[in-house]
Amino acid sequence: MNSDASTELRHRTVEAPAGRLHLVEQGDGPLVLLVHGFPESWYSWRRQIPVLAAAGYRAVAIDVRGYGRSSKPEAPEAYRMLDLVEDNVAVVRALGEESAVVVGHDWGSNIASASALLHPEVFRAVGLLSVPYAPPGGPRPTGVFSQIGGPEQEFYVSYFQQAGRAEAEIEPDVRGWLAGFYAALSADTMPASGEPDPHFVSRAGGRLRDRFPTGVLPAWLSRDDLDFYAGEFERTGIIGALNRYRNMDRDWEDLAPHRGAPIKQPALFIGGAVDASTTWMADAIDAYSTTLPALTASHLLDGCGHWIQQERPDEVNRLLTDWLATLDAEALRRDRA
């Protein structure tokens, strides 16, 4: 075990295009940058950081701009994908590193894949959790999402587009909203097979939370964990997190020059078999031979929902450390050749 692996987590902030980015790190060795999704924080990686550190890596989990202790730019357009990618590059540089393996979950998976696509000289490999890689291109996103659910329901991405609307639902009771949101996508608390996914659609004129499970927490989420997440959003507000959704059309325009582009670095995908992200995007997973030509492995964990590294930390940790070890072995082989 690396001698630093047993030390406490180290909190620090670094300068980045966002202004300031908060990160938590542990361990020494090759840098592994961990990027969370919505609505989470660096804390989502609490069960991975010490394991990666013990395996000989410098594990660094960030608060994405708009979250936690990181800066929260005011302009909605400050949350476009290009800016989030540059934040990741700035973190690598601020830590004195030349390159990193980037691993992301949920929106963090999209941020990680865009980082690898746009800066292959910095991000030598990419790990994607829950949300598969789909190359830029296709129809304009908000147009597609507006058609989901039909006239009587509204898809959550469309629901999030109007500034202030979701904020008014969430911020009066952040803790309760988060509890329902997490439960809606966890394998042990999501609706039974065949029932509507309550998180993803609201009834016409209604709220998302009206269809959340109530009165139950997923097994992976303790009351202390929920208190931590709620405290972060009660302090910072939810608007920075929601502004990520409000830039999807800007991302579509910004990334148009990379339409259909594969990611050529070594890649890993881990998804939950009962996660809607993997069922909706099954075609993206099927296309990995073309879109991720250097894919090392793709795993679907039976009986696992969306919050994969928290629902199944031991399996995810094993898959991550095994994959990272193969990267190190391949790098050593190249060095000796």
pLDDT tens profile 41-59: 999 999 999 999 999 999 9
Average pLDDT (184-202) is: 73
pTM confidence score:
0.95
- Whether 106 sits among the annotated catalytic residues: the reply is yes
Regarding the domain delimited by 3-336, which CATH topology (the fold level of the hierarchy) does it fall under?
A: Rossmann fold (3.40.50)
% of the chain surpassing 90 pLDDT = 80
- What is the spatial distance between Cα 113 and Cα 135, in angstroms, rounded to a whole number? 9
pLDDT category of residue 201 using cuts at 50, 70 and 90: confident
Contact between 45 and 36 under an 8 Å Cβ cutoff? The reply is yes
Please determine, for residue 205, whether its predicted confidence score (pLDDT) is greater than 80.
Answer: no
Q: Which of 36, 105, 199, 306 is catalytic?
A: 306
**Per-residue pLDDT tens for 277-292?**
999 899 999 999 999 9
* Nearest in space to 278 (alpha carbons), one of 149, 185, 205: 185
Summary mean pLDDT of the chain: 92
Please determine, for residue 244, whether its predicted confidence score (pLDDT) is greater than 90.
Answer: yes
Go through the chain and tell me how many residues it has: 337
Q: Which of 63, 87, 106, 251 is catalytic?
A: 106
- Whether 258 sits among the annotated catalytic residues: the reply is no
pLDDT category of residue 337 using cuts at 50, 70 and 90: low
- Kindly report the number of other CB atoms within 10 A of residue 224's CB atom: 7
**Per-residue pLDDT tens for 64-88?**
999 999 999 999 999 999 999 999 9
